[in-house]
A = this chain, B = another copy of it.
Amino acid sequence: MLDPRPVGYVIGLILAVLGLMMIPPMLVDIAEGREHWQVFFESAVITTLTGVLVSLACRNVRHREISIRQGFLLTVGVWVVLPVFAAIPFMLGATEARFVDALFEAMSGMTTTGSTVFSGLETLPKGLLLWRGILQWLGGLGIVIVAFLFLPIMRVGGMQFFKSESFDTLGKVMPRAIDISKALLGTYLALTMVCVLTYVTLGMGAFDATVHALTTVSTGGFANTDSSFSAYDGPIMYAAIVFMFLASVPFVRLMLVGSGQFRPLAMDFQVQAYAGAILFAVLLVFALRAALGAPLDEENFRHIAFNVMSIFSGTGYGDGDVTLWGAAPFVVLLTVGAIGGCTGSTGCSLKVFRYMVLFKALGAQLRLIGSPNRIVAPRLGGRPIERDVTESVMLMFTMFILTLGVMSVALSLTGLPFLEATTGAWTAIFNVGPAFGGLVGDSGALTAFPDAAKYVMIFGMLLGRLELVVVYVLFTGTFWRG
């Protein structure tokens, strides 16, 4: 039997922290002189109290080690339980949201997806806007920690490729979990601060700079206005491009940059492939748009670079209707969204590393089929790719595609038209943010989607953010029987 109490203990603690994180939005609303602060006060009390009570109820086992299976349960539990409580301010607050909308927004936040069901963002209390930013920031931090601590040991999606000998079992990782998390948090905080300062320096207001920094470094994509990034000028957009890139490269490399070592980042095989792919996609879209008559100027280049980087990294900021660019650029954007950033970042989707493994494995197997006597193991970054890694990656790719198909069907069953259903599944599974089609509001909000579609997307965002496997494992009978 699986003992859920160590899991409950940790979830309770994290829930209490989530409650405490409602204090900054409360303070902002107080500073603005709005009654709305009470919403966050009540939500914080409910959330913190529940967290503390759950932890107390499970406290007797807190010294026990967490098993791999409890690790899965913990990860899924965090991303199921926290969004429910994170949704409370949207129900009690100015958005007066129904449960489905509040949960959608909270899940979209904590999974760093960035799809929204709210429009008229400009009119919302600043506390709520900050809350959306904090949710994404927390979600991004959480996923970086999970990717570093758990995924390599869990053998999820080939992440065992990155398993270091000093952390190859949970027994070795857990004692240092707190230290590691602190180190990751330090780098994440530093990146966020630099991003805030850059945005402010370039002319963004302090509040907008803060929220946008929170949603940039988490590749979340929530913005403070319906028009997303189209309100900002050139320098700010270039800054956003840089920070979206940094947010989607491996975090362990960024930590070294913090201590002055740029080389590990620049020489990382995944980062090099990622940068190359971004450049290629930007130039391709630029050429395609030019072929369709768009001017070859800096403004056009900037918008293209911004949107490619935004979707490639899975951030999802927009600055206009990209479907108007024509079919070819649009399909390129959908494609880069299905690739995503680097493993071990806040970025989502399948990620560059897995495509590299896939292509290497495909090449190796094709050579094997054509000439069975020459066996050459594929390599990446100077290391051989174990068969186990290849299998995990192909498994994950297969699951992503099948899930994308099933989710497209499910969304069309809820009544969504073709484009909305397919891009809705795409944006949820790959945690990108924007969806396309006539049912999507001018502001990009998915308010008009049927409730059933919203629930399907809520589940899809959860699935995608936790790399599918982590959730699907819970649906196997043997997981629960031990």
User: Which A residues lie at the B interface, using CB under 8 A?
Assistant: 68-69, 72, 154-156, 288, 327-328, 330-332, 335, 338, 358, 361-363, 365-367, 369-372, 374, 390-392, 394-395, 397-399, 401-402, 405, 408-409, 412-413, 415-419, 421-422, 469, 472-479, 481-482
Contacts and interface: CB of A to CB of B under 8 A. Distances in A.
Contact of A328 (B392, B401, B413): B413
Nearest to A69: B370
A469 B405 CA distance: 23
A371 B331 contact: no
Given A365-B392, A367-B476, A397-B401, 20 more contacts: A154-B369, A288-B413, A327-B412, A327-B417, A327-B421, A331-B412, A332-B409, A335-B405, A358-B398, A362-B399, A365-B395, A367-B478, A367-B479, A370-B473, A370-B474, A370-B476, A371-B476, A371-B479, A397-B398, A418-B419
B155 A473 contact: no
- By secondary structure, the A interface counts as helix
Contacts of A401: 397, 401
A435 to B, nearest CB: 14
A374 B473 CA distance: 14
A471 to B, nearest CB: 10
A469 B369 contact: yes
Contacts of A156: 369
A226 to B, nearest CB: 25
A25 to B, nearest CB: 38
A30 to B, nearest CB: 47
B416 A478 contact: no
The 8 A-B pairs with the shortest beta carbon distances in the complex, nearest first, are: A370-B479, A394-B394, A328-B412, A370-B473, A331-B412, A327-B412, A327-B418, A367-B478
A418 B405 CA distance: 17
9 contacts: A288-B413, A327-B412, A327-B415, A332-B409, A362-B398, A362-B399, A366-B476, A369-B473, A397-B401
Given A395-B362, A419-B418, A409 B369 contact: no
A372 B68 contact: yes
Contacts of A395: 361-362, 365, 394
B370 A72 contact: yes
A409 B331 contact: yes
A327 B418 CA distance: 5
